[in-house]
Amino acid sequence: MTIALPRTAMLGVGSMSGSVLEGLLAAGLDPTTVTLTTRSEQSAAAWRERGLDATATETDPDANREAVRGAGLVVLGVKPYLVGEVLDEVAASLHPGAVVVSVAVGTTLASMEARVPAGVRVVRALPNTPIGVGHGVTGVSAGTTADAEAVALASSVFTASGQVIEVPEAQLDALSAVSGSGPAYVFLLVEQWQQAAEALGFTPEQAATMVQGTIRGAVELIAASGLEPADLRRAVTSPKGTTERAVAVLQDADLAGTFTRASRAAIARAEEIAAS
Ligand SMILES: NC(=O)C1=CN([C@@H]2O[C@H](COP(=O)(O)OP(=O)(O)OC[C@H]3O[C@@H](n4cnc5c(N)ncnc54)[C@H](OP(=O)(O)O)[C@@H]3O)[C@@H](O)[C@H]2O)C=CC1
Ligand SMILES: O=C(O)[C@@H]1CCC=N1
């Protein structure tokens, strides 16, 4: 698939929107379509080395304003506390009818719409970093002035390299608590499981092969078989066998309750950010 976008400004291109950009480039986006800004010259230089047009605000205070001039699509990839500041900075330079997409958690559509001129359409997106390798999961919510065309354009940025779920904004913090933060939960599981394997006497390399290979294989098996995870689990768990004992220990840990508590903690933090 090759993706075409209107002239696009990406303001802030760190872990998250940098992964979005990687996904777009892998999907065939013409790099000359995009203008990037970062805070530091070091980050901008790293993108320029890859042939992209990138300017740092620390060397050019007009970088964000220049980037959005004439852009039909503006992607905000800065930390939540900077979204308002950056929008105030660029508002007067935004192209009438531009679509502004923020990937920030806890920064509401209302707070962004209040800062942009009439006619500028705002969309929120909550992607996750695997988008950089073609496996993103992104939640998208439309602002009050975002029409179907704006949502389709915003969504195309993320479907280029993964799946998109459109949800009302009221559900976006919860979606973020599942799939936005989710890669961190999986990386933690991998870390802890590899530690456990090493404690059984395996080398770090052997532990990584066993744990990461098993996770990849199991996820592929869910997708390829079309079966429910519970059915596949039962197929591994021989009655009176070894897995049964291990799974009983894991079930004692109340994983569902733990995931629910973890998600609620993330949602509470998103609400704190929105209120700040
Ligand atoms: N990380 C994740 O997995 C996810 C993050 N998000 C959201 O993504 C957003 C960014 O987070 P993340 O990518 O982790 O953060 P990073 O710190 O990795 O990236 C922030 C980027 O913003 C740049 N920046 C800072 N100030 C300015 C400015 N005034 N003008 C232009 N660029 C600026 C930074 O430049 P420099 O590199 O020079 O510092 C950097 O490129 C947050 O709002 C977060 O809520 C959403 C979902 C998942
Ligand atoms: O931790 C954070 O705040 C961001 C939002 C979701 C994932 N990372």
Domain range annotation of the chain: 8-171, 182-272
The model's pLDDT over 163-197, given as tens digits with 9 standing for 90+, comes to 999 999 999 999 999 999 999 999 999 999 999 99
Please identify, by atom number, the ligand 1 atom nearest to the C-alpha of residue 40.
Answer: 38
CATH of 182-272, one of 1.10.3730.10, 1.10.3210.10, 1.20.140.150, 3.40.190.10: 1.10.3730.10
Q: Which ligand is nearest to the CA of 15?
A: 1
Residues 132, 134: Cα–Cα separation, whole Å: 6
Look at the chain and count its residues: 276
pLDDT of residue 1: 61
Report the candidate in 149, 134, 99 with the shortest Cα–Cα distance to residue 26: 134
Ligand 1 neighbourhood includes 179 CB (under 6 angstroms): no
Which 8-state DSSP code applies to residue 208? Answer: H
Residues 155, 150: Cα–Cα separation, whole Å: 8
pLDDT of residue 276: 87
Buried b (16+ CB within 10 A) or exposed e, 225-245: eeeeeeeeeeeeeeeeeeeee
Q: How far is the CA of 232 from the centre of ligand 2 (A)?
A: 31
pLDDT of residue 2: 83
Across 51-190, the runs of DSSP E, i.e. the strands, are 53-56, 73-76, 99-102, 121-126, 136-142, 162-166
CATH code for 8-171? 3.40.50.720
Q: Which ligand is nearest to the CA of 265?
A: 2
Please identify, by atom number, the ligand 1 atom nearest to the C-alpha of residue 176.
Answer: 47
Please identify, by atom number, the ligand 2 atom nearest to the C-alpha of residue 184.
Answer: 7
Residues 86, 150: Cα–Cα separation, whole Å: 21
Residues 156, 139: Cα–Cα separation, whole Å: 12
Confidence check on the interface: ipTM exceeds 0.95, yes or no: yes
Q: Which ligand is nearest to the CA of 128?
A: 1
Whole-model pTM: value is 0.95
Q: How far is the CA of 19 from the centre of ligand 1 (A)?
A: 11
Ligand 2 neighbourhood includes 176 CB (under 6 angstroms): yes
Residues 9, 100: Cα–Cα separation, whole Å: 9
Report the candidate in 5, 24, 3, 211 with the shortest Cα–Cα distance to residue 133: 24
Residues 174, 170: Cα–Cα separation, whole Å: 8
pLDDT of residue 106: 92
Q: How far is the CA of 118 from the centre of ligand 1 (A)?
A: 26
Ligand 1 neighbourhood includes 82 CB (under 6 angstroms): yes
- Average pLDDT of adjacent 10-residue blocks, the chain of 276 residues: 91 97 96 97 98 97 98 98 97 96 96 96 98 98 95 97 97 97 98 98 98 98 97 96 97 95 97 92
